[in-house]
A and B are shown apart, each in its own frame.
Chain A
Amino acid sequence: MRLDQEEKDMLEGKYGKAAQKSMEILTTLGEIFDAENMIDVHGVQIAGVSYANLGEAGLEFLTDMAEDGKVRVLTTLNPAGMDRENWQALGIDKEFAKNQNRAIDAFARMGIITTCSCTPYLIGNAPHYGQHIAWAESSAVCYSNSVIGARTNREGGPSALAAALTGKTPNYGYHLEKNRHGQVLVNINAPVNGTDEFGVLGKIIGDKLVELGKKIPYITGISSATVEELKSFCASVATYGGTALFHMEDVTPEYNKYPKPTEIVFEINQNELDIARGELIDEDIEVDFVSIGCPHASIHEIANVAKLLEGKKVKKEFWITTARPTKRIADEVGYSKIIEDAGAKFAADTCCVVAPIKGRFKGIMVDSAKACYYGRAKNKFKVKIGSIEECVGEAIK
């Protein structure tokens, strides 16, 4: 691998221990994946923030890196295991809170902006078309590559941190145009609307890609989609298919840049959508927990929830998970008061996937196919998918 003088100096330790360790990680990954050189990144998103995932092991590593490590580019964090202000009301124990804060403090010492969110692109870590970035968080990776047209591989916690501390990433994978072509043509022959339905669609496509051993779908038949629908789709197709990039005709910016795939084609009709939706509803579910905001709710979604909840009372635990900056806007505008007066709770900085809530609930209702996957796999909940309207309806029932 070809390194420039600065990169060599980092590798030799002239920029400190953390930069040296980071460059060791990046050059080794570059060698493994046959990268020819390093490229500058314009922003980083770091995963592995929840203490429930990091454990003492990860925390020790972060603490050591924070001794002399400083980020060189704009860097934000994934959701933590708790709301940093409201953790007690959400039932998080003291010991966990203490450890979670130790982890976030280590990130802060490195100059990382500790907004804990899976939607950095909604709160100021927003690359533009064609920019190279190094992001972890599979849903945000998919969104930035596909919807924005920025370029990133699916980074893990340590490799994203290494990119932040050096401003570099090895030039391979999705950074190269030759690897961004669509591989499978997916024709959608039914209307798809709402965050829940886009999540269902993501599951169908993701499952199919795994079966085919392919990664990049080229999707036709969606005439328009909202930011919220695309964010839900990204989370789902990344969860079920490991997909980091898709093209959507007339929707995403690169769809006509590369040839439309013709060799492998599959069709999705209403019937497939109905079957997949059924797979995301456990028959014998008793819902005792409703959660909106996977990925983190936008201000538009919060406005919608506020409208639906105005003057009502929830009868079940109801979380709206979002980024703290988005919550602040909701506070300013008055949505938070309406939502909290109805008995629902904000869980900022965290979400129903990373918070340590296993055993606390039996059945979760969500508008997110990703949340269904982790609700089952990680927390052993029964799950039910529905639109935001149906979720609110269930909560006040």
Chain B
Amino acid sequence: MKLIGRKIYKGMVEAEAIVTNDGISFYGGVDPDSGKVVEVGHELEGQSITGKVLVFPTGKGSTVGSYTMYRMKKNNTAPVAIVNKEIDTIIAVGCIISEIPCVDKIDIKNIKTGQKIIVNGSEGSVEVK
């Protein structure tokens, strides 16, 4: 199944999806050293997003979150791609400065945790295998 959205940042990767219906705050909500979600009560609390395609509705929290994503990329703890329902500026800027392929305007209900998906940030599409 191929889902067509909007390109936010270029690049193509294939990896396992990790999906949540909660918003993500990279600043304070994710530990940039371990790559784990640490926000108390978050659907993904305790789970690692490293090396996965992180699929969530939209970003939230402080604008410093863009910098946290940059740090994760340098630490090799970042997700390899991001898919959003509706992008916000923190995640968009974070993806650009960290060079993480990103697509939004995707109906994320069509993606399940554990599925292998291909994110094409240059085309703005997501393919669920």
Contact = CB atoms under 8 A, between A and B. Distances in A.
B105 to A, nearest CB: 10
A356 to B, nearest CB: 15
Contacts of B93: 25, 28-29, 156, 158-159
A219 to B, nearest CB: 28
Given A24-B96, A28-B8, A28-B9, A54 B64 contact: yes
Majority DSSP secondary structure for residues of B touching A: helix
Contacts of A25: 93, 96-97
Interface stretch (A36-44, A57-65, A66-74, A307-315): A57-65
Contacts of B37: none
Interface string A144-175: 00000000000011110000000000000000
A48 B65 CA distance: 11
Contact of B64 (A24, A28, A29, A53): A53
Contacts of A58: 64, 67, 70
B68 A156 contact: no
Given A60-B74, A158-B97, A29 B67 contact: no
Contacts of A54: 64, 67
Interface residues of A, number: 21
Interface in B57-92: 62-64, 66-68, 70-72, 74, 87, 89-90, 92
Contacts of A55: 64, 67-68, 71
Contacts of A159: 89, 93
B101 interface: no
A266 B66 CA distance: 38
B66 A21 contact: no
A56 interface: yes
Contact of B89 (A53, A61, A156): A156
Contacts of B92: 28-29, 32
B21 to A, nearest CB: 22
Contacts of B9: 28
Contacts of B68: 55, 57
B96 A21 contact: yes
Contacts of A29: 89, 92-93
B96 A28 contact: yes
A164 to B, nearest CB: 15
A30 to B, nearest CB: 11
B32 interface: yes
Contacts of B90: 156
Nearest to B86: A32
Interface string B99-126: 0000000000000000000000000000
Contacts of B32: 57
A-B pairs, top 10 by smallest CB distance, nearest first, are: A57-B71, A156-B63, A58-B67, A57-B67, A158-B93, A61-B70, A24-B96, A25-B96, A57-B68, A53-B64
Interface of A: 21, 24-25, 28-29, 31-32, 47-48, 53-58, 60-61, 156-159
